[in-house]
Amino acid sequence: MSGTNDQVDEILKSVRESPTYLSLWSAYKKIQRLSPKPPKSASLRASIAIIGSSTLEPLAACLDVKIRLEGFHNHTFIGGFNTYRQEAMDKTSELYNAKPDIIILAVDAWTLLDQNFLSSYPRMSSKSRSAAIKELANSLIAIVEVLAKNSAALILVNNFIVPTFSPMGVADNKQKISFRQFFRRANQLLEEKLEAISNVFVMDLDSVASDFGKSRTMNWNTYYRGSVPFGEEFTLVVADEYMRYFRALKGLTKKCIVLDLDNTLWGGIIGEDGIEGIKLGPASPGIEYVEFQRLLLSFYNRGIILAVNSKNNFDDAIKVLREHPHQILKEEHFAALRINWQNKAANIAELAKEINIGLDSIVFIDDNPAEREQIRLTYPEVMVVDLPKNPRLYRTTLENLDVFDALSFTKEDMARGEMYVGKHKRNELEQRSTSIEDFLRTLEIKVRVKLTGDFDTPRVVQLIGKTNQFNLTTRRYTDAEIKSLRDAEESAIYSMAVQDKFGDEGVVGVAIIRKEDVSWTVDSFLMSCRVIGRSIETAFLAKIAADAKTAGTKRVIGEYIPTKKNAPAADFYEHHGFAKQKEMGDGASWMLDLAHGTLEVPDWIDLIEE
């Protein structure tokens, strides 16, 4: 069947060259006709569903092809015209049979409102306006709650587009509940009532429409001819917005920004202009760079890693980071620095190694097109930003990248930057130590392993969603699936938190166990790459093996499923005395006989059991 896959690749290649609405639609129909077989590897399969109040094929088609462009085989379920209620209520419906990763609920406010709503609004009492707001929001929330109950998918609910028109004209907001406020309040209700359901997201269609230009969102011809509301261009924009959630769910988002210094973080060249001469300060020229840095600091504060890659004399450049009164990003905000005369491609590879992240998690920002080209050619997996020549556009360029999305923020995210300070200190200590054991002993590592509770579940969900390197099986689970695995008798989720004398790393490891009488199977085992190299994984596995033995089972079974990125975990089971059971595709399953083999916690680790 490779013929079919080649044809699909050919179709996708032509879409890449001309990503128009027409090309995407055509590609979708052609791929459906070929119906390619799903790949063996579950990590490359995706399934989405879109239901709602209009004809959704065009939007679904664009989204389907965009998912395929990310390298996934995708199944798309498209709900019928205005049949979303039945589809949501019927547990046996095709919607749920397709086991979607994501369900999109796209309902137009006007299909939920009374047909006389617009004409009656000017004469409606504020009391009935208020009641109608609740009715509008609640009818949608009711559907969302059914979806969340029947499916473990990530659920995306479009909010309502607030009209720009009002029958009351400029005096609209002189009313108790203005026409536009009606829709704003309904949106607010959606957000308030759905905020607590962790796998439900309100997709801010109103903002997306505003950004695009509300007067251009609709194609009234296709709307009246066939209930296709959105114009061609806007359909692509909406599909892109859904893709942000998809990438976040599948762990495809960026984690680190690598920055140049001269003419990127400040104007001018420090080596020539000197610390007093560079443009960085409260007025233009200079304020552009300050505001760009403030945006970068906001990313840092939510857990994006920052690093420097600059051709400079180290002493000149570091002086700005340490001493310039208007410099926003200080030395401690950067997880790693490469300020030297080496070529930048070599530097970026070193940075990735030092920070311990994949090159494909990096965004590179540099004003010099030649440097950008070099990185692009050497490491195509690095995202290289086409920075505009005009520094006044740096900030908006970064704001519009939309590649840093996460589905939740944990205390580990918020403190990520500080953790790298601890890492620096650890590195210094390592260089001074006479042996690796010596070094590890002086770290005073404490490892806490416990069954996941409510409090650490969001972090567990996050680690399962984004850990790529030290991940034995790379199985991704949704929030709802994880909660059901956590709560079920026949499975358990362990989480591991690590601290040492340089700081608290928080929860950095997760293992999902499927329990049977004679054996425990390690469905998932993963660890943040930040803590690799301290044998912490050995302590974690030892604790699981000990629990398995206490539970009366005879063996622990583990699997390794290779991906492009998880080579660091390849010899994990072999290294810990597991015997190979059988080859499975490219991977293998491994077994530890608990009657003969045991696992020792390394003596430099203090394992705290809870």
Partner 1 sequence: MTDAENSLAEIISKVLLLDRNELTDDLKRGDYESWDSMAHLILISEIENEFGIFFEDDEVVDIWTVADIRELLSKKISS
Where on the chain is the footprint of partner 1 (CB under 8 A)?
A: 22-23, 25-26, 29-30, 33, 55, 57-58, 219, 221-222, 225-226, 228, 232
* Helices 57-69, 21-34: inter-axial angle, 10-degree rounding: 80
How far apart are alpha carbons 69 and 31 in whole angstroms? 12
CB of 14 to partner 1, least distance (A): 10
CB of 231 to partner 1, least distance (A): 9
Tokens of 359: 């090159």
Place of tokens 């200190």: 425
Q: How far is CA 376 from the centre of its chain?
A: 23
Q: How far is CA 270 from the centre of its chain?
A: 36
CB of 219 to partner 1, least distance (A): 7
Question: By C-beta, is 26 or 82 nearer to partner 1?
Answer: 26
Question: By C-beta, is 20 or 284 nearer to partner 1?
Answer: 20
Tokens of 277: 């001469």
HSE, CB side, 13 Å, CA atoms: give it for residue 533.
14
SS3 state at 516: coil
Tokens of 170: 């400029």
CB of 405 to partner 1, least distance (A): 31
CB of 5 to partner 1, least distance (A): 18
How far apart are alpha carbons 512 and 492 in whole angstroms? 6
State which amino acid sits at residue 246. Answer: F
Which among 504, 559, 486, 481 is positioned nearest to 526, based on CA atoms? 559
CB of 33 to partner 1, least distance (A): 7
CB of 15 to partner 1, least distance (A): 11
Which among 102, 4, 5, 96 is positioned nearest to 60, based on CA atoms? 102
CB of 76 to partner 1, least distance (A): 15
Question: By C-beta, is 173 or 221 nearer to partner 1?
Answer: 221
Question: By C-beta, is 165 or 224 nearer to partner 1?
Answer: 224
Contact 179, 121 (CB under 8 A): yes
Question: By C-beta, is 7 or 408 nearer to partner 1?
Answer: 7
Question: By C-beta, is 15 or 328 nearer to partner 1?
Answer: 15
Contact 468, 566 (CB under 8 A): yes
Question: By C-beta, is 223 or 299 nearer to partner 1?
Answer: 223
H/E run at residue 556: strand 555-560
Which among 157, 161, 247, 156 is positioned nearest to 212, based on CA atoms? 161
CB of 181 to partner 1, least distance (A): 34
How far apart are alpha carbons 138 and 334 in whole angstroms? 46
Contact 491, 485 (CB under 8 A): yes
Question: By C-beta, is 20 or 342 nearer to partner 1?
Answer: 20
Question: By C-beta, is 30 or 75 nearer to partner 1?
Answer: 30
Question: By C-beta, is 58 or 391 nearer to partner 1?
Answer: 58
For the chain, give me the number of helices (H) and strands (E)? 25, 18
Contact 273, 388 (CB under 8 A): no
Question: By C-beta, is 81 or 117 nearer to partner 1?
Answer: 81
Question: By C-beta, is 58 or 267 nearer to partner 1?
Answer: 58
Torsion angle defined by CA atoms of residues 296, 301, 302 and 304, in that order, rounded to the nearest 10 degrees: 50
CB of 237 to partner 1, least distance (A): 16
The sheet that has 256-259: what strands, in order across it?
A: 334-340, 305-311, 256-259, 362-365, 383-384
Name the E strands within 219-262: 256-259
CB of 20 to partner 1, least distance (A): 9
The string of DSSP letters for 131-175 reads HHHHHHHHHHHHHHHHHHHH--SEEEEE-PPPPS--TTGGGGGGS
Question: By C-beta, is 25 or 117 nearer to partner 1?
Answer: 25
Tokens of 340: 């030297």
Buried-exposed string 431-452: b where 16+ CB fall within 10 A, e elsewhere: eeeeeeeebbebbebebbbeeb
The sheet that has 491-500: what strands, in order across it?
A: 579-584, 587-593, 555-560, 519-527, 503-515, 491-500, 445-451, 605-609
Question: By C-beta, is 55 or 471 nearer to partner 1?
Answer: 55
Contact 504, 531 (CB under 8 A): no
Question: By C-beta, is 7 or 313 nearer to partner 1?
Answer: 7
CB of 1 to partner 1, least distance (A): 20
CB of 236 to partner 1, least distance (A): 13
CB of 24 to partner 1, least distance (A): 10
CB of 34 to partner 1, least distance (A): 11
